Amino acid sequence: MKFSVNRAVFVENLSNVQRAISSRTTIPVLTGVKILATDNGILLTGSDSTISIEAFIDANNEDNQLQVEKAGSIVLPSRFFGEIVKKLPNEIMHLEVKDNLQTDITAGQAAFTLNGTAGSEYPKLPEIDSDTSFTIPANIFRQVINHTIISVSNQEIRPIFTGIHFVIANNHLKAVSTDSHRLSQRIVPLEVPESLADQEFALNIPGRSLSELTRIAEDSDNIEMMVADKQVLFKTDNIYLYSRLLEGKYPDTDRLLPEDYQTRIQIDAPDLLSAIERALILSHEGRNNVVKLSIDSDQVVLSGQSAEVGEVEEELNISSADGESLAISFNPDYMRQALRTFGAQEIALRFQSPSHQFILLPANAQDNFNFVQLITPIRTPGN
Amino acid sequence: MKFSVNRAVFVENLSNVQRAISSRTTIPVLTGVKILATDNGILLTGSDSTISIEAFIDANNEDNQLQVEKAGSIVLPSRFFGEIVKKLPNEIMHLEVKDNLQTDITAGQAAFTLNGTAGSEYPKLPEIDSDTSFTIPANIFRQVINHTIISVSNQEIRPIFTGIHFVIANNHLKAVSTDSHRLSQRIVPLEVPESLADQEFALNIPGRSLSELTRIAEDSDNIEMMVADKQVLFKTDNIYLYSRLLEGKYPDTDRLLPEDYQTRIQIDAPDLLSAIERALILSHEGRNNVVKLSIDSDQVVLSGQSAEVGEVEEELNISSADGESLAISFNPDYMRQALRTFGAQEIALRFQSPSHQFILLPANAQDNFNFVQLITPIRTPGN
């Protein structure tokens, strides 16, 4: 194998596939990045066996300055190889596999030789040949992921909760996540191909795969999602992200979202967020990490305390407060993450009682549960 | 105690005194920041008993928007208090000590109450009343520190090496540091008051004190240094930094700096730095972290290797190479830090033999040892 390529282009694509590579893998060859050169271009592959990412550098795209002199493949140690190509001088870098899999990487007067592994030792990626394919604008899909990833569990005890549950039906995409303390839901319109329009598709995608996808797809216009039996493939421009699906049936979460409420306040999300961020300076010191919201018709007060350090109290600038008086305690970190998903908009908080889960949603939401964050309160001796 | 003050001014001064405060102190009251309010202004104090920093917010400076309603003092938990004032809303913040040392911190609608400690429980800072005082332009002093701090030892076994050795004599300031593997020296002119002109002053200042000083003095014009028996005080604008001095006699380092050389190369410091930074990607993997410089009259090559990963070789773009051929091995991390002190200038490297320490200095240096970095080579089986 022998080629030369624009170094900045190579570095960018390498960084993308490295997102899939974990140094903690038990399969040694997966600590490497696979480089496959053909007359058409170079294909880079990284994988941790849950996620695999491929990036293609096209020989026909002049910007890539790619000259493949000899086809072939090699696996190089990901971390060193990455550090090396980032530190090389010059616009153009050269890579050549010599005898015994020794690989020369040169640019300007700098010459590295790395010990490679045969490309044939790299595991084959699953082939996804499926007619079940959907195209989603990348900015919408990134939003859906960012609004729901906060409630994904990082506990492996119930693996299904480490993913986001997607349902595609009736020309809509619904995404739900929960770690059993809170829940996020986002529903967006989706143009479904006519051949699939009557069907419903449900799949559970690992949170980590989706958060890598949001980073890779930052500059893309569209994401194509191809669904197979146990795998999903996301295509964006020149990058493919393969992810294993989580097996099992996702619990019915619709029944958790309360339609009724006894108390409702309306407030600018950033105002409440600032107050929460002040309150958690103290609550993080307390044994329970709890803050309290006390709602009356004429004032709403956020408070928190830590026996060792002190206490905090702040009257909130609300737009409106309706319904019954209520004092409710909750984890301010959950509230902070939930509030951040709303950005700068005005939101409504709807409560049933101090012991029932409560929800946050855009103040002007008509179709209520298209964008909702649910939080379970904490029972404290005080309320 | 009761006052109101411009929050940004207060935050900036608090951040400066917090540099002295360590959460690992064994004296509980030193985890706090002391606030002393008088009619003249507010004095903030932080200390870890080696370093103490005081910052004064002047009531007569209108920019400070300081109104002291009631004099007094209090000690507040440094970390919480700092997080709180940073997160407060509003331009103006209020602070008031109530009954039982409870301290109210309010701004806008946010109200914090912190449990304070009586100001009288805070240790007294050493009083430095000394006629031995020198004034140094802050940018020069920062440079002197930055050029020598790299060779300060972080091993407490020989405490004297954890400081920079300063000698003031003949209207010059000399700074030397060594960790016994390398040495840095910087000599600059210094205007000494006439009454002190005939004397020589030698003092060993902890490296940590000086690195905090460089951060605090970033916007200052001058630094005044007052020397007492076991303490030194640095004054800059409204900030005082007190440091304990290291006791003991600093070894004579002049004899370590070789006047002679057998081999000399001249090169742009940034070019050599880039090559070193590439080579250490591999050397950091090897057991010895060594790179080799091979000097011939017609070419100079930097090389390194790691048995597991591979090797690197680079011909350097030198300006000149004189004297005998030589191959010498050294720790590339020492070389990297030494090269960074020179910035973008052309430097000379002067060698005696593969087993003698070698030096780096500006290529145009006449008075050779005003700015010098010395590195001890590593003996390897290969040379």
Q: For residues B117 and B120, what is the distance between their CA atoms, to the nearest angstrom?
A: 8
B257 neighbors A63 (Cβ within 8 angstroms): no
Q: For residues A42 and A66, what is the distance between their CA atoms, to the nearest angstrom?
A: 9
Candidates A10, A7, A97, A17; CA nearest to A54 is: A17
* pLDDT tens over chain A, length 383 residues: 999 999 999 999 999 999 999 988 889 999 999 999 999 999 999 999 899 999 999 999 999 999 999 999 999 999 999 999 999 999 999 999 998 999 999 999 999 999 999 999 999 988 888 889 999 999 999 999 999 999 999 998 899 999 999 999 999 999 999 999 999 999 999 999 999 989 999 999 999 999 999 999 888 899 999 999 899 999 998 999 999 999 999 999 999 999 999 999 999 999 999 999 999 998 988 778 999 999 998 899 999 988 888 999 999 999 999 999 999 999 999 999 999 999 999 999 999 999 999 999 999 987 779 999 999 999 876 54
Q: For residues B347 and A49, what is the distance between their CA atoms, to the nearest angstrom?
A: 50
B256 neighbors B312 (Cβ within 8 angstroms): no
**Which DSSP string do the residues of A345-380 spell out, in sequence order?**
SEEEEEES-TTS-EEEEETT-SSGGGEEEEE-----
pLDDT of the residue at B382? 55
B118 neighbors B75 (Cβ within 8 angstroms): yes
Strand pairing category for A172-178 and A117-118: unpaired
Burial A309-327 (b: 16+ CB within 10 A, else e): bbbbbbbbebeebeeeebe
Instruction: Tell me the per-residue pLDDT of B206-226, one tens digit each, with 9 for 90 and over.
Output: 999 999 999 998 888 999 999
Contact state of A310 with B274 under an 8 Å Cβ cutoff: no
pLDDT at B381 over 90: no
Q: Kindly list the residues from chain B whose CB atom is less than 8 angstroms away from the CB atom of residue A114.
A: 309-310
Candidates A180, A185, A182; CA nearest to A155 is: A180
Q: For residues B95 and B98, what is the distance between their CA atoms, to the nearest angstrom?
A: 10
Burial A111-122 (b: 16+ CB within 10 A, else e): bbbbbbbebeeb
pLDDT of the residue at A308? 82
Q: Which of residues 259-278 of B touch A (CB under 8 A)?
A: 274-275, 277-278
Q: What domains are defined for chain A?
A: 2-121 (3.10.150.10), 133-253 (3.10.150.10), 257-375 (3.70.10.10)
Contact state of B115 with A88 under an 8 Å Cβ cutoff: no
Q: Is A317 on the interface with B (CB under 8 A)?
A: yes
Q: Which of A323-327, A331-335, B23-27, B31-35 has the lowest mean pLDDT?
A: B23-27
Q: How many angstroms separate the Cα of B344 from the Cα of each of B59, B274, B360?
A: 44, 12, 14
Candidates A252, A300, A265, A190; CA nearest to A292 is: A300
A145 neighbors A214 (Cβ within 8 angstroms): yes
Reduce the DSSP state of residue A383 to 3 states and report it. Answer: coil
Instruction: Tell me the per-residue pLDDT of A111-125, one tens digit each, with 9 for 90 and over.
Output: 999 999 999 999 998
Q: How many angstroms separate the Cα of B206 from the Cα of each of A178, B8, B203, B231?
A: 52, 31, 10, 11
Contacts (Cβ under 8 Å, ≥6 apart) of B26: none
Cα B351 off chain centre by? 29
pLDDT of the residue at A382? 56
pLDDT of the residue at A220? 86
B74 neighbors B101 (Cβ within 8 angstroms): yes
- Reported as a pLDDT band with limits 50, 70 and 90, residue B126 is confident
Reduce the DSSP state of residue B281 to 3 states and report it. Answer: helix
pLDDT of the residue at A189? 95
ipTM (interface pTM): 0.86
Q: Kindly list the residues from chain A whose CB atom is less than 8 angstroms away from the CB atom of residue B316.
A: 109
**How many CA atoms does the CB half-sphere of B20 hold within 13 Å?**
31
Q: For residues B383 and B381, what is the distance between their CA atoms, to the nearest angstrom?
A: 6
Q: For residues A358 and A261, what is the distance between their CA atoms, to the nearest angstrom?
A: 9
Mean pLDDT across the stretch B254-282? 95
Q: Which of residues 108-137 of B touch A (CB under 8 A)?
A: 109-115
Q: Which of residues 44-103 of A touch B (CB under 8 A)?
A: 77, 80, 83-84, 87-89, 102-103
Best interface-test mutation with A: which of B86, B114, B268, B281 has the largest number of A CBs within 10 A?
A: B281
Instruction: Tell me the per-residue pLDDT of B339-380, one tens digit each, with 9 for 90 and over.
Output: 999 999 999 999 999 999 999 999 998 777 999 999 999 987
Q: For residues B9 and A357, what is the distance between their CA atoms, to the nearest angstrom?
A: 42
Q: Kindly list the residues from chain A whose CB atom is less than 8 angstroms away from the CB atom of residue B277.
A: 87
Contact state of A109 with B278 under an 8 Å Cβ cutoff: no
Q: Kindly list the residues from chain A whose CB atom is less than 8 angstroms away from the CB atom of residue B102.
A: 310
Nearest Cα residue in chain B from A76: B309
Q: For residues B235 and B55, what is the distance between their CA atoms, to the nearest angstrom?
A: 10
pLDDT at B308 over 90: no
